[in-house]
């Protein structure tokens, strides 16, 4: 068997907790929301039913409001191993009985994962398609509620863009996109004994966010606890509110997918609603286009202004499925001299921040390095947008990188050094999916 595939399978098995998977053995010992979606696609290559369990495990934590939480905690993990842990979120009355969760969310990749599981099952001719289709009947309404929660609680004015209340909700936690809005967040008291177990899990603490950032992260969580996660209040007064274009674009694409899944779930009449939602977001993303940067910009909902930074977020229209003219511009930029085509890169793959952005940092967490799951999202977008040749190039470069770096969390783009955790589940999942692809 292919050595890389073997390593990826080892990583998934090593992080497997039976019905769900740790993102990594030490750094992230609980179940994370968007990791679970990627991981499910990885399991699909081995066992589509195990893949469905990954999604079901996550959805055990779905709140009655419809929110799918960023973390579903494993209560067997020792106290203090990950912070903020299960007792730090004040969510006991919000989460379903018997399940401990955080109180924020992450990008909605789940429907995309479910459709991919189905596609893989369909190619197996072993009866698993039947099981997947049965599961879709029950999973679809859960995902529909999740999307509806995002489109109401996090977009009460129906703008088509989803507001995040914490950088962790973006998944691209430390992106320079959040620097400005986060700098205005002033914790009223600083935690002297800020617990940072994460710093002991990486080779160099510089591979993780800084303490001042963590003080703000904790403060934002405390502010949400203080209003008991009341979303209406949060959307009016929370000190960090940003309409996140990358998150919104993923939702648009996931809505297109839900439209395709609706008939399989026995709800054909709901397809049009999802398509209209996706279209609405695509139009909203159009209004966030910056002609100078040639990028789509997040909107700070507190100042009412766009956030000018040249990052991966700018490619949101590609993820959402935009028209040919715009996608041609974005594909040029993606492979151009400030992103994948930058001089001196070990592999020509997308960067999380443009090399020309003043805050580009080749080692900084989400501030420059290459992240395999983001490469995967862009690869999928290129394929779906009909950019077949670019997609093929991206895929083969990604595989080449992964052969060298293994299932690492992220990669320093110039030296090609593996950074963060070295057994990251979503990277393993991306490996399996990329290797399996048969155009």
Closer residue to ligand 2M8, CB minimum distance, 35 or 357: 35
Count of residues interacting with ligand 2M8 (CB under 6 A): 10
Closer residue to ligand 2M8, CB minimum distance, 54 or 277: 54
| Minimum CB distance to ligand 2M8, residue 172 (Å) | 7
| Minimum CB distance to ligand 2M8, residue 173 (Å) | 5
| Minimum CB distance to ligand 2M8, residue 267 (Å) | 30
| Minimum CB distance to ligand 2M8, residue 81 (Å) | 12
Is 409 a known active-site residue?
A: yes
User: CB of 375 within 8 A of CB of 349?
Assistant: yes
Closer residue to ligand 2M8, CB minimum distance, 168 or 240: 168
| Minimum CB distance to ligand 2M8, residue 34 (Å) | 6
Does residue 173 belong to the site contacting ligand 2M8 (CB under 6 A)?
A: yes
Set 74, 119, 173, 361: catalytic member: 173
Does residue 412 belong to the site contacting ligand 2M8 (CB under 6 A)?
A: no
Q: Cis ω on the peptide bond leading into residue 84 (within 30° of 0)?
A: yes
CA dihedral 372, 377, 383, 387 (to 10 degrees): -80
Which listed residue (103, 171, 306, 369) binds ligand 2M8 by CB under 6 A?
A: 171
Does residue 70 belong to the site contacting ligand 2M8 (CB under 6 A)?
A: yes
Does residue 108 belong to the site contacting ligand 2M8 (CB under 6 A)?
A: no
SS (H, E, C) the chain: CCHHHHHHHHHHHHHECCCCECCCCCCCCCEEHHHHHHHHHHHHCCCHHHHHHHHHHHHCCCCCCCCCECEECCCCCCCCCCCCCHHHCCCCCCCCCCCCECCCECCCCHHHHHHHHHHHHHCCCCCHHHHHHHHHHHHHHHHHHHHHHHHHHCCCCCCCCCEECCHHHHCCCCCHHHHHHHHCCCCCCCCCCCCCHHHHHCCCHHHCCCHHHHHHHHHHHHHHHHCCCCHHHHHHHCCCCEECHHHHHHHHHHHHHHHHHCCCCCCHHHHHHHHHHHHHHHHHHHCCEECCCCEECCEECCCCEECCCCEHHHHHHHHHCCCHHHHHHHHHHHHCCCCCCCCCCCCCCCCCECCCCCCCCCCCCCCCCECHHHHHHHHHHHHHCCCHHHHHHHHHHHHHHHHHHCCCCEECCCCCCEECCCCCHHHHHHHHHHHHCCC
| Minimum CB distance to ligand 2M8, residue 282 (Å) | 24
What binding mask, one character per residue, do residues 5-44 give for ligand 2M8 by CB under 6 A, x or -?
A: ------------------x----x---x-xx---------
CA dihedral 61, 64, 69, 74 (to 10 degrees): -20
Does residue 89 belong to the site contacting ligand 2M8 (CB under 6 A)?
A: no
Closer residue to ligand 2M8, CB minimum distance, 111 or 201: 201
Does residue 375 belong to the site contacting ligand 2M8 (CB under 6 A)?
A: no
Does residue 167 belong to the site contacting ligand 2M8 (CB under 6 A)?
A: no
| Minimum CB distance to ligand 2M8, residue 78 (Å) | 16
Does residue 213 belong to the site contacting ligand 2M8 (CB under 6 A)?
A: no
Closer residue to ligand 2M8, CB minimum distance, 38 or 347: 38
| Minimum CB distance to ligand 2M8, residue 325 (Å) | 31
Distance of alpha carbon 55 from alpha carbon 58, whole angstroms? 5
Closer residue to ligand 2M8, CB minimum distance, 35 or 412: 35
Closer residue to ligand 2M8, CB minimum distance, 293 or 419: 419
Six-digit token string for 113: 């994962």
Which listed residue (20, 43, 168, 219) binds ligand 2M8 by CB under 6 A?
A: 168
Closer residue to ligand 2M8, CB minimum distance, 54 or 198: 198
Set 244, 409, 422, 433: catalytic member: 409
Is 232 a known active-site residue?
A: no
Q: Which residues bind ligand 2M8 (CB under 6 A)?
A: 23, 28, 32, 34-35, 70, 168, 171, 173, 198
Residue numbers annotated as active site:
173, 409
């Amino acid at each position: 068997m292919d050595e890389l595939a073997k390593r990826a399978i080892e990583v998934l098995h090593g992080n497997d907790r039976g019905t769900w998977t740790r993102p990594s053995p030490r750094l992230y010992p609980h179940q994370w929301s968007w990791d679970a979606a990627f991981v499910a696609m990885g399991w699909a290559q081995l066992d589509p039913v195990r893949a469905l369990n990954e999604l079901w495990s996550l959805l055990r934590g779905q709140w009655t409001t419809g929110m799918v939480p960023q973390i579903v905690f494993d209560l067997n993990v020792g106290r203090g191993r990950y912070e903020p842990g299960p007792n730090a979120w004040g969510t006991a009355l919000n989460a379903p009985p018997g399940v401990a969760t955080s109180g924020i969310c992450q990008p909605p990749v789940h429907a995309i994962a479910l459709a991919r599981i189905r596609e893989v099952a369909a190619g197996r001719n072993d009866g698993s398609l039947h099981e997947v289709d049965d599961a879709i009947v029950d999973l679809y309404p859960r995902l529909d509620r999740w999307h509806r929660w995002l489109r109401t609680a996090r977009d009460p004015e129906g703008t088509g863009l989803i507001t995040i209340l914490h950088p962790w909700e973006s998944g691209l936690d430390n992106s320079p996109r959040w620097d400005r809005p986060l700098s205005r967040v002033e914790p009223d008291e600083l935690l002297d004994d800020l617990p940072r177990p994460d710093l002991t899990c990486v080779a160099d603490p510089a591979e993780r966010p800084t303490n001042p950032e963590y003080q703000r992260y904790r403060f934002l969580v405390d502010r949400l606890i203080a209003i008991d996660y009341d979303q209406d209040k949060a959307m009016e007064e929370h000190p960090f509110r940003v309409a996140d274009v990358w998150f919104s674009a993923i939702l648009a694409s996931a809505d297109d997918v839900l439209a395709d899944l609706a008939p399989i779930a026995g709800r054909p009449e709901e397809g049009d609603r999802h398509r209209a939602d996706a279209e609405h977001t695509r139009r909203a993303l159009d209004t966030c286009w910056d002609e100078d940067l040639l990028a789509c910009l997040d909107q700070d909902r507190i100042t009412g202004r766009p956030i000018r930074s040249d990052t991966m977020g700018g490619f949101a229209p590609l993820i959402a499925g935009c028209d040919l003219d715009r996608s041609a511009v974005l594909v040029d930029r993606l492979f151009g001299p400030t992103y994948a085509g930058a001089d001196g890169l070990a592999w020509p793959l997308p960067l999380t921040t443009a090399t020309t952005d003043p805050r580009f940092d080749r080692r900084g967490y989400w501030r420059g390095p290459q992240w395999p799951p983001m490469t995967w999202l862009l690869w999928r977008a290129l394929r779906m947008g009909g950019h077949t040749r670019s997609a093929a190039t991206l895929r083969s470069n990604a595989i080449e990188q992964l052969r060298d770096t293994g299932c690492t969390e992220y990669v320093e783009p110039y030296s090609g050094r593996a950074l963060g955790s070295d057994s990251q589940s979503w990277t393993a999942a991306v490996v399996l999916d990329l290797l399996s692809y048969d155009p």
